[in-house]
Amino acid sequence: MTRRSDIVFFFAMLVGIYAAWLARDVLLLIYVSALAAVVISPAIHFVMRVRIGKWSPGRGIAILTVILAGLVLMGLLVGFALPPIVRDAQAFAADWPNKVAAITERFRHLPLTQHIDPSAIQGHVGRAVGGALGFFTGLAGGLMSFFSWLILTAYFIIDGDRAFHWAMSLLPSRHRDRLRETLFRAQGRVRNWLIGQLALMLILGVATGITFGLLGIKYAYALAVFAGLANIVPIVGPLISVILAGVVAAFDSWTKLLGVLIFYLVYQQVENAFLTPRIMKSTVDLPALAIIIALSLGGALAGIIGALIAVPTAALVAVLVDEYLAKPHRDSIGFAPEETEVRLAD
């Protein structure tokens, strides 16, 4: 009887996995909406704590206020910040093939570069730019998915707690409390990581835009946006930003290149010594390799959306692994978490 039930369970699990794969787009949308609700919930609670005399907004009004604030912020971004970014990106895409061809011609006498065809380079860059334009065209056609995400996120905010407790009630009572506490802890850490990482990306983007504008570097807006977005990838992201900004600055003058290098050197010192310890102190401390692997897997499985949710998912998995795998091992060998950290540091 046990063997028969195991076989039935195995095939039921295969059917469930196959069904999940067929509905992966919908499940991904639901998962992204749940993550967004986790991040937005503190803003909802903050608005609900506001008091005007004896009146305080209810949950519905708080949700509507946060949504309207988000739409106004997006409108301001599209109206004021996006046009110069698009203009710089278009100018950069138009100038880059010619600049690459000029560099190739300049170093054509070198053994490693004499067989490079500038027209081929221009063709590759042109196809890359065309692919980017195709991506934005597809993104513009995804408004229905955006509104579906917005509605699902609102439902998760409104009814997420009841759905969560209902899901917990389906589990055996001996596992329920521990999993609930673990998920609550993971929720807090993932939320803090997302908010902290967004803050670091915003700080770097703004600092880069102001500095590059003062230095008179071309495409300052586009380079600033790229630097902020690339900062989500440790080590590799800032390195690519330095190389790209350095190449653009070197086209104008060596003085601007020196200014770019000094700025990134100073900023990295400030971020590592001051910003990161204070902004990210209550988050899951993921190794750089884990973040890069998560981004690679997320991008391969679900494209841009997969890459965006890869690191929060890795943070969630890290909390679950620590609770159900690492913690029992530490308890079995008699080490406290602090002792384990000291031994690992040694």
Max avg pLDDT among 50-54, 152-156, 262-266, 330-334: 262-266
Q: Give φ, ψ of 180 to 5 degrees.
A: -60, -45
Residue 340 has pLDDT above 60, yes or no: no
Residue 331 has pLDDT above 70, yes or no: no
The alpha helices in 107-172, defined as continuous H runs, are 118-140, 143-169
For residue 83, what is the DSSP state? H
- Paired with 55 in beta bridges are 52
Give the distance between the most distant pair of CA atoms in the chain.
79
Domain boundaries, the chain: 24-166
pLDDT (0 to 100) of residue 266: 92
Rounded CA separation 208/238 (Å): 12
| Mean pLDDT lowest among 48-52, 70-74, 113-117, 321-325 | 113-117
pLDDT (0 to 100) of residue 181: 86
Residue 183 has pLDDT above 80, yes or no: yes
pTM over 0.75: no
Segment 7-36 shows an average pLDDT of 83
Q: 78, exposed or middle or buried, with CB in 10 Å at 0-12, 13-18, 19+?
A: exposed
Orientation angle between helical segments 82-106 and 118-140, nearest 10 degrees:
160
Q: For the segment 267-279, what is each residue's pLDDT rounded down to a tens digit?
A: 988 888 888 777 7
Q: Are 56 and 50 in contact (CB under 8 A)?
A: yes
Element (H, E) at 290: helix 288-321
pLDDT (0 to 100) of residue 208: 92
Residue 262 has pLDDT above 90, yes or no: yes
CA 122 to chain centre: 31
Q: For the segment 39-95, what is each residue's pLDDT rounded down to a tens digit?
A: 788 788 788 888 887 788 887 788 788 878 877 887 777 677 677 777 777 777 777
